[in-house]
């Protein structure tokens, strides 16, 4: 049998992803997707936060402090899921050398750092009236602080090299190693005796919080998640354009 | 004792952060699109 005929016909996943490596195609697709992220994000976030402030009841134990949940929980969810996306983009970058995966990882980093900072700050504002302390070296809080440093480290590392490719490679390795923090964050409240409460909403069981508190939380989580991705997609569009500008300027300089 | 100052502080932090991200991203996107069009007129079809 000829060696070339032995190649399986099935396309590798990386091959189909490379259709979007064309900057023009990606920019057209991203511009079409953008309004479907931005406008629902604004509406759902406004509905969730206003509902949480004015329509949902105060908690019988925590009082009004429970309303911090409508900002804190979406920020915490996005801190972890954003890093999972960053690690996935880094994996695609290392395995398939997809040019957009490098840019996606680089653009998720600063937005992820911002939501993780928001999670830590709102957690601190919630902790002060509930625990009597702005900060405790609890396993959940400490592992989220480590996540914040991972985001900051990744953001700085990818921009630390004159050759962007080396920066992307180093950042991808850091992101994949740092992904070990995600299960630690998730299970820290089960593995250790923490001040931070265990999860109230799980995939396997019914939520342990009242429906009157749950609906604004669902709306704000969905809205802020869409907003996170709207910002990441917009930053990615800008990054693709900037890369194309650098390429055109380099080609002109070489031709001159 | 009311906890409202902590709640308002949280919402203001969120608003400040969201506004900062939206404004900086929007400016960066517009600037990149304008520079690209200036360098490459064929990029007119790009958003």
- pLDDT tens column, A126-180: 999 999 999 999 999 999 999 999 999 999 999 999 888 999 999 999 999 999 9
Q: What is the mean pLDDT of residues A99-107?
A: 93
What percent of chain B lies above the pLDDT cut of 70? 87
Query: What digits encode the pLDDT tens for the residues A53-76?
Result: 999 998 888 899 999 999 999 999
Is pLDDT at A1 greater than 50 in this prediction?
Answer: no
The whole-number pLDDT of residue B47 equals 44
The whole-number pLDDT of residue A108 equals 97
| More confidently predicted of A12 and A163 | A163
Task: Report the alpha-carbon distance of residue A124 to residue A128 in Å, rounded.
Answer: 6
Residue of A38, A215, A96, A189 whose CA lies nearest to B18:
A38
| More confidently predicted of A204 and A149 | A149
| More confidently predicted of A147 and A251 | A147
Chain A contact for B38 (CB, 8 A cutoff): no
Whether residue A16 contacts residue B36, with contact meaning beta carbons closer than 8 Å, is answered with no
Supply the Cα-derived Rg of chain A in whole angstroms: 21
Chain B contact for A249 (CB, 8 A cutoff): yes
| More confidently predicted of A99 and B15 | B15
Q: What is the mean pLDDT of residues A7-36?
A: 73
Q: What is the pTM of this model?
A: 0.90
A139-158 vs A99-131: helix crossing angle, rounded to 10: 150
Q: What is the mean pLDDT of residues A78-101?
A: 94
Which residues of chain B have a CB within 8 Å of the CB of A56?
A: none
Task: Report the alpha-carbon distance of residue A230 to residue A133 in Å, rounded.
Answer: 35
Q: Do A68 and B6 touch (CB under 8 A)?
A: yes
Under 8 Å CB-to-CB from A160, ≥6 apart: which residues?
A167, A170
Question: Which of A66, A125, A247 is the best mutation test for B, with the most CBs of B within 10 A?
Answer: A125
The whole-number pLDDT of residue A97 equals 87
The whole-number pLDDT of residue A18 equals 67
Is pLDDT at A42 greater than 50 in this prediction?
Answer: yes
DSSP string, chain A: --GGGGS-SSPPHHHHHGGGGSHHHHHHHHHHHHHHHHHHHHHHHHHHHHIIIIISPPBTTTBGGGGGHHHHHHHHHHHHHHHHHHHHHHHHHHHH--HHHHHHHHHHHHHHHHHHHHHHHHHHHHHHHHHS-S----HHHHHHHHHHHHHHHHHHHHTS-SSHHHHHHHHHHHHHHHTTHHHHHHHHHHHS--SSPPPSS-SSS--SS-HHHHHHHHHHHHHHHHHHHHHHHHHHHHHHHHHHHHHHHHHHHHH-
Whether residue A228 contacts residue A78, with contact meaning beta carbons closer than 8 Å, is answered with yes
Mean pLDDT of all residues belonging to chain A: 90
Which residues of chain A have a CB within 8 Å of the CB of B43?
A: 244
Whether residue A45 contacts residue A223, with contact meaning beta carbons closer than 8 Å, is answered with yes
Under 8 Å CB-to-CB from A211, ≥6 apart: which residues?
none
Which residues of chain A have a CB within 8 Å of the CB of B35?
A: 241, 245
Query: What digits encode the pLDDT tens for the residues A223-235?
Result: 999 999 999 999 9
């Amino acid at each position: 049998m000829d060696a070339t005929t032995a190649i399986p016909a099935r396309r590798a996943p990386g091959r189909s992803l490379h259709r979007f490596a064309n900057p023009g195609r990606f920019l057209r697709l991203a511009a079409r997707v953008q309004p479907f992220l931005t406008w629902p994000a604004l509406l759902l976030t406004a509905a969730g936060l206003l509902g949480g402030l004015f329509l949902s009841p105060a908690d019988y134990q925590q009082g009004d402090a429970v309303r911090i949940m409508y900002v804190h929980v979406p920020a915490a969810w996005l801190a972890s899921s954003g890093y999972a996306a960053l690690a996935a983009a880094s994996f695609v970058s290392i395995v398939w050398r997809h040019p957009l995966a490098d840019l996606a990882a680089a653009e998720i980093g600063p937005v992820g750092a911002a939501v993780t900072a928001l999670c830590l700050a709102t957690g601190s504002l919630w902790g002060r009236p509930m625990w009597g302390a702005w900060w405790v070296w609890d396993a959940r809080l400490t592992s989220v602080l480590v996540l914040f440093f991972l985001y900051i480290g990744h953001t700085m590392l990818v921009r630390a090299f004159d050759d962007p490719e080396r920066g992307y490679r180093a950042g991808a390795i850091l992101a994949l190693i740092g992904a070990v923090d995600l299960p630690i964050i998730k299970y820290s409240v089960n593995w250790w005796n923490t001040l931070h409460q265990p999860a109230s909403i799980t995939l396997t069981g019914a939520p342990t919080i009242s429906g009157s508190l749950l609906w604004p939380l669902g709306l704000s989580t969905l809205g802020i998640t869409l907003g996170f991705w709207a910002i990441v997609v917009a930053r990615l569009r800008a990054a693709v354009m900037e890369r194309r500008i650098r390429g055109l300027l380099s080609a002109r300089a070489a031709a001159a | 004792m009311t906890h409202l100052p902590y709640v308002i502080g949280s919402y203001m932090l969120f608003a400040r952060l969201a506004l900062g991200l939206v404004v900086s991203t929007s400016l960066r996107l517009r600037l990149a699109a304008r520079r690209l069009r200036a360098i490459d007129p064929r990029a007119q079809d790009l958003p």
